[in-house]
Amino acid sequence: MKAMVQDRYGSPDILRPQEVDRPAVGDRDVLVRVRAAGVDPGVWHLVTGLPYAVRLGYGLRRPRNRVPGLDLAGVVEAVGRAVTRFVPGDEVFGTGAGAYAEYAVAPERKLAPKPGNLTFEQAAAVPVSGQTRSRWCTRRAGCGRGTGSWSSVPVTAWVVRRPARQGGWRPRHRRVQHIQARARAVHRRRRGRRLHA
């Protein structure tokens, strides 16, 4: 299969196309034929190896995983023996390893069904942004006990599923609506304190 690979840390110019082996599928993994991959600051950190602390987890002199990329959207090609939520042919999005290739492997728990009203490109941009928002809600806005244990990808799938009348996106699930209302209230309180201080 074709993939963008890197043999050392450096600027994005070091990425080059190359033929590599298709990744092996574990018991709880899903093999996804990648239709779109997301680019975010995390990928930049993994490609450049900066800050140097990143190298402690991903390889000191060169990256352990030669194919970068985390966010993906595509079609399920094969599933492991213990996978129950997906079958080949399902359209999915989420986070996996080596998304800058024709095929990538992702754990079943890090994938969600792709909403029908999103393109693959739009869905590939959602996972890291949704996770960032979910963490902000649980840590900063105090959105309630238990929300931190939610997987961010399904929460994000609820948020993007139904368009609002004004042309924007409105959350489908009431719990997500509650989280967003609480976050807005906390933001207004903090803004008020800064104005009156």
pTM here is 0.69
% of the chain exceeding 90 in pLDDT: 52
Domain boundary among 118, 152, 169: 118
Q: What is the pLDDT of residues 81-107, one digit of tens each?
A: 999 999 999 999 999 989 999 999 999
Amino acid identity of residue 129, one-letter, is S
β partners of residue 76 = 32
Q: Are residues 70 and 106 in the same domain?
A: yes
CA contacts within 13 A on the Cβ side of 190? 9
Question: What mean pLDDT comes out for the span 169-194?
Answer: 62
Q: Are residues 5 and 22 in the same domain?
A: yes
What's the mean pLDDT when you consider all of the chain? 80
Q: Are residues 42 and 73 in the same domain?
A: yes
Domain boundary among 118, 143, 178: 118
Closest to 35 measured CA to CA, from 95, 118, 93: 93
Amino acid identity of residue 1, one-letter, is M
Check pLDDT > 90 for residue 110: yes
Query: What are the φ/ψ torsions at residue 13 (nearest 5 degrees)?
Result: -65, -20
Q: Are residues 3 and 65 in the same domain?
A: yes
Q: What is the pLDDT of residues 146-159, one digit of tens each?
A: 444 444 444 444 44
Distance CA 18, CA 28 (A): 28
pLDDT of residue 187: 66
Describe the strand order of the beta sheet including 71-79 as a list of residue ranges. 103-107, 29-37, 71-79, 91-95, 111-113
Q: What is the pLDDT of residues 32-64, one digit of tens each?
A: 999 999 988 888 898 999 989 989 989 999 999
